[in-house]
A and B are shown apart, each in its own frame.
Chain A
Amino acid sequence: MSEASQSLAWSFSRAFAIASNTFREAVRMKLFLAMTTLAICSLASSFFFREFNFGSSELKFITDFGFGGMSVFGSALAVIVSAQLFYGEIEHRTAMTLLAKPIHRSEFVLGKFMGAWSTVLCFLAMLTLCLIAALWWRETSLMAEYPDSFQSGRIVQYGSLLGFAFAQALRIGILCSVVILFSTYASSSLFAMVMGVLIWIVGQLQHIATEAWGAVDSWILKGIYAFVSYALPNLHLFDVGEGAALGENLSLVLYAKLAAYALLYGTFYLAIASASFNRREL
């Protein structure tokens, strides 16, 4: 029998097995519980501003708090969970037993990514539900209190809230894939986390580099700006919160474009991560 006929077919089922185990580990980590509690508490704290009697603008305040929690805590959780769940397997040497099984390293990389991402998706889903419940409850109270401000019915665009959560899920997917890429050759989980935070910050400011690209004359600077513009994702694109909070309905085309953008960058980073992890000696 030739060697080619004895190759191991790539399997999604093995990647899913790794993903579900990763998710189980993340849920059993106390960190997940701590972050969720913290985010819900931050959302609940927005209710203290009721004392200022903002009327209907109080709803925007709660929405902004909720969006902030989803964005900041979601990104932080993505960085920590991805680094911990991927690098932790190398650090605790469980990866050795795992990779001694008939699996491709790219299945391991994809499985870890799916496990980490689904963990943060759960967190986002919980927070979104809490935000919707909080807004619904407060809006109902305000409608009874200030009927004049609500003559045309409810003012919160609940569909846009889901749209914002979807955009954050995509943004966090990119962030998870970046952290996993760094974890494949990191020598500590701290390094992967620090790099993840740096990419998060640079990604938020990436549009500045894109704008500066055309404005500079130096070829060196042009090269740096070009690299930052293409190699790093523009995470600012996913900040659709302002429009959603103002009750503006965002088009489905925008969400489709964001999904395609996230898919492109996520696939790019995971492909590099797989190539890097294939070369890693355990």
Chain B
Amino acid sequence: MTPAIAIDNLTKDFRIPGAKQRLRAVESLSLTIEQGGIYGLLGPNGSGKSTTIKIVLGLLSPSSGDCRVFDLPSSNPAARKRVGYLPEAPYFQRFLTGRELLQYFGRLSGLSRERLHERIDSLLARVGLEDAGDRRIGAYSKGMLQRIGMAQALIGDPELLILDEPTAGVDPVGAADIATLIMGLKEEGKTILLCSHLLSQVEAICDRVAIMGKGRLLREGTIESLTRDAGDGALRIEGLASGARAEIEALAVERGGEVVRSSKSLEDLFLELARSDGEETEQ
């Protein structure tokens, strides 16, 4: 099956006005995101996530390397027929109502007038904005903006959804609702590329993750493999005297048992990678 996104040796440099040298935002990045499932793209601020997403969406062009979406160059507008995008801060025309915004983006996505009305009603209901559809977006709360953003990303029924911080500024209940919506989309067979700083949520819903730092790929794999590989071998035993602990370990092995080492959480791994990457750069 054709990968949803195939990035090969991608590098992106930005010109700095008035300076000879260029700023390297992404360096030799290679990533393959297969169809189906939820893929998390993680990294601290300035790690190159947004630049990578913009290249995937054709908003930026790579300095070198290749980026393909469903086997089409990301610069080809046809590639975006199968893509929906929710931006980090919801950048929408504030003078429009929620319904008008969906009509506008629906028309741009090539939906017929009949299909559009039906789709708008169902999407407003799906994101819980059926009562706010005729209100101006300028009067929406942050949570409502994220929800109308989800609706506009879904208007063209895309196969690939790129969600940049979908829960930013949303209260815990709203964030849980969005997570449920994302899980539902996965069950419908959609591919989701999720950028989020909410690591517990990423850990709960993503199948695979890539962790970026300073424009480079630091780790990539399933959450289970990443956290297991990164486990520090600590054995947590509570309520025992120190001497008894060694006896218990020895006994476990002697009896044919296995001492299961505790693994790190994704959050621990992320922080460790981000910090060590920062220290390496300083040196």
Contact = CB atoms under 8 A, between A and B. Distances in A.
Given A281-B60, A282-B54, A102 B104 contact: no
Contacts of A7: 76, 78
B71 to A, nearest CB: 8
B93 A25 contact: yes
A93 B83 CA distance: 19
A103 B156 CA distance: 13
Given A96-B91, A100-B80, A100-B85, A17 B104 contact: yes
Interface residues of B, number: 30
A281 B60 CA distance: 5
A6 B61 CA distance: 20
Contact of A101 (B92, B96, B156): B156
Contact of B78 (A8, A96, A97, A282): A8
A99 B91 CA distance: 12
On chain A, which size bracket covers the interface?
Answer: 20 to 34
Contacts of A103: 77, 80, 108
A98 interface: yes
B222 interface: no
A21 interface: yes
Interface string B148-159: 000010001000
A104 to B, nearest CB: 6
B76 A97 contact: no
A93 B87 contact: yes
Contact of B80 (A24, A25, A102): A102
Nearest to B89: A93
Given A25-B93, A92-B91, A97 B77 contact: no
Interface in B84-121: 85, 87, 89, 91-93, 95-96, 104-105, 107-110
B139 interface: no
A102 B59 contact: no
B87 A102 contact: no
Given A14-B107, A94-B93, 7 more contacts: A3-B76, A28-B95, A93-B91, A96-B54, A100-B59, A102-B156, A282-B54
Interface of B: 54, 57-61, 72-73, 76-78, 80-81, 83, 85, 87, 89, 91-93, 95-96, 104-105, 107-110, 152, 156
Q: Ordered nearest first, which 9 A-B pairs have the shortest CB separation? A: A100-B85, A17-B107, A93-B91, A8-B78, A102-B81, A102-B80, A8-B77, A282-B59, A101-B108
